[in-house]
């Protein structure tokens, strides 16, 4: 079913969590992203929906060029532009991972410029790729937050994980929570595993389809903000409807 055919999700129809005036005062450099996100959210009938936004960034060794050229930083800024519509706290928790969880930080409307590169540099060694520990860190953070709104997780990687079974297990278990995983691929990998996660059957493997996948290719910075937001929000409306129907989201 195309997103445009989905009825406006319950809780939609209101304004952005952070007003344009506040954005202009707190983060003038993000106003264009904020406005572009608004266009996609209106198209998807997601205006007024509330959600906590998380960002998960891959720090495996092959990711080095994407920190160097600003691709990772740009994705964080794009996540903030989206989060300002979904959540009024102006913050996005960031989980860095490679072999394990390398570190946890945040970007905010008042502290985002150069933040990703600085945090990445401070974390040192870049390891292999393991999704499941980073995914579990998000689940644990969300549970501990006591949030009643759902979570929208932008999970970026440039390849498949070492432990595929563990990643699949966490994804399927988390389907019982109001938590949606939007995977984003950097690079020329075929991403067979992420495509598999995106297509895991319901209800045989998971209660609801709780994941989407957006491959950005070898040049993530070459994507327009409009195209990026279209891709990020593509499957979220269907998940909201399915999660409510299944009693996962109330």
| pLDDT at 8 > cutoff 90 | no
- Among residues 103, 105, 155, the alpha carbon closest in space to that of 131 is found at 155
- Tell whether 38 is covered by a domain: yes
Tens of pLDDT, residues 208-227: 999 999 999 999 999 999 99
In this prediction, residue 98 carries a pLDDT of 98
How far is CA 18 from its chain centroid?
18
In this prediction, residue 54 carries a pLDDT of 98
Quick one: pLDDT band at residue 114, thresholds 50, 70, 90?
Answer: very high
Which helix (H) or strand (E) segment holds residue 185: the answer is strand 179-185
In this prediction, residue 9 carries a pLDDT of 46
Tens of pLDDT, residues 43-88: 999 999 999 999 999 999 999 999 999 999 999 999 999 999 999 9
Counted domains in the chain: 1
> What's the domain range around 63?
3-245
Tens of pLDDT, residues 119-151: 999 999 999 999 999 999 999 999 999 999 999
End-to-end CA, the chain: 22
In this prediction, residue 39 carries a pLDDT of 97
In this prediction, residue 76 carries a pLDDT of 98
- Tell whether 250 is covered by a domain: no
Quick one: pLDDT band at residue 11, thresholds 50, 70, 90?
Answer: very low
Q: Which residues pair with 215 in a beta bridge?
A: 185
Q: Which residues of 70-103 are buried (b: 16+ CB within 10 A; e: fewer)?
A: ebbbbbbbbbbbbbbbbbeebbbbbbbbbeebbe
Peptide bond into 203 cis (omega under 30): yes
Instruction: Say which DSSP state 3 is in.
Output: G
- The three-state (H, E, C) secondary structure of 79-136, written as one string: HHHHHHHHCCCCEEEEEEECCCEEEEEEEECCECCCHHHHHHHHHCCCCCCCHHHHHH
Which CATH number fits the domain that encloses residue 174? 3.40.50.410
In this prediction, residue 1 carries a pLDDT of 28
- Tell whether 231 is covered by a domain: yes
| pLDDT at 3 > cutoff 70 | no
Q: For 166-172, what is the mean pLDDT?
A: 98
| pLDDT at 101 > cutoff 80 | yes
Tens of pLDDT, residues 36-46: 999 999 999 99
Q: For 187-207, what is the mean pLDDT?
A: 97
- Tell whether 36 is covered by a domain: yes
| pLDDT at 14 > cutoff 50 | yes
Quick one: pLDDT band at residue 5, thresholds 50, 70, 90?
Answer: very low
Q: For 29-38, what is the mean pLDDT?
A: 98
């Amino acid at each position: 079913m195309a997103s445009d055919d989905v009825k406006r999700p319950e809780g939609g129809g209101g304004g952005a969590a952070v007003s344009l005036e506040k954005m202009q005062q707190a983060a003038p450099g993000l106003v264009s992203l904020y406005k572009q996100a608004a266009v996609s959210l209106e198209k998807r009938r997601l205006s007024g929906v509330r959600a906590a936004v998380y960002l998960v960034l891959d720090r495996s060794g092959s990711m080095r060029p994407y920190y160097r050229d600003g691709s990772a930083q740009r994705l964080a800024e794009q996540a903030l532009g989206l989060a300002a519509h979904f959540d009024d706290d102006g913050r996005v928790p960031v989980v860095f991972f490679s072999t394990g969880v390398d570190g946890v930080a945040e970007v905010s409307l008042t502290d985002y410029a150069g933040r990703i590169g600085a945090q990445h540099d401070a974390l040192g060694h870049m390891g292999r790729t393991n999704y499941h520990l980073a995914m579990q860190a998000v689940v644990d953070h969300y549970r501990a937050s006591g949030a009643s709104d759902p979570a929208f997780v932008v999970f970026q990687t440039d390849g498949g994980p070492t432990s595929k079974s563990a990643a699949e297990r966490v994804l399927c278990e988390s389907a019982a929570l109001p938590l949606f995983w939007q995977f984003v691929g950097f690079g020329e990998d075929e991403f067979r595993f992420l495509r598999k996660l995106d297509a895991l059957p319901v209800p045989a493997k998971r209660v609801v389809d709780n994941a989407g996948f957006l491959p950005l290719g070898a040049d993530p910075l070459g994507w327009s903000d409009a195209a990026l937001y279209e891709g990020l929000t593509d499957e979220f409306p269907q998940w909201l409807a399915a999660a409510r129907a299944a009693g996962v989201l109330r």
